[in-house]
Structure 1
Amino acid sequence: MSEAAVELWGFLSEDVESVREEVERLLGVSFRLHESASIGPYYFAELEDPESDLILRPNVDAGFDEDTDDPDDAFVEPDFPDFSVLLYVERKSEGKPGSGRLAALGTYAQLLLVE
């Protein structure tokens, strides 16, 4: 078994609300909207299998100003500019990436990174 990790999933859709609804349906969770000065608006939910915290957010830096900043600085995850919506899965237990309920995301999202 691997150590507890953070999985990063990416969605090609630019519509955070439609992604939220689909992820809620696929994983059987309910996201709550939060606001953060450092990361901007994001959705949070807890998942039971595998036990994880889920953070769903746009791939846009909260401090980005399109009028003054370099467009290359717009993304939270600049290595994945094609993915407009990101899901961070902060696992609390060991397990194979994409296992348990997360396997349902494979038809709708792409596993981009495991740290």
Structure 2
Amino acid sequence: MMASSWAGMFILVVVVIVGVFEVPMARAVSPSECKEEQRLLVLECKPVILGRSPSANCCQRIRVTHWECVCPSVTPKLAALIGVERTIKQIEGCGRSVPHHFKCGSITTP
């Protein structure tokens, strides 16, 4: 698999990991804050794309990243490439509950 394909797939998994759980938001997040949250999430959760479980640092990042920053990026094409149920299990393994019927981009959780 080409490096660009791996990078695209990784970003997709990260988007879904963050996108399928609700994070209460006390205030609006600026575009620059969202960009930084996405950068940190990718940095901490890179091994997830290789099928590894999220690390403690990745789980912490998952718990604090605002879903509003990533859900708009979840297109039907991206959603078709990931295992939503596996991703939900990883999120729950990080101590987050995943709401049923949560809409994140083109994905709705079971």
TM over 0.5: no
Instruction: Give the TM-score, by structure 2 length.
Output: 0.28
Instruction: Give the TM-score, by structure 1 length.
Output: 0.27
Structure number with the bigger relative contact order (C-alpha 8 A, sep ≥ 6) is 1
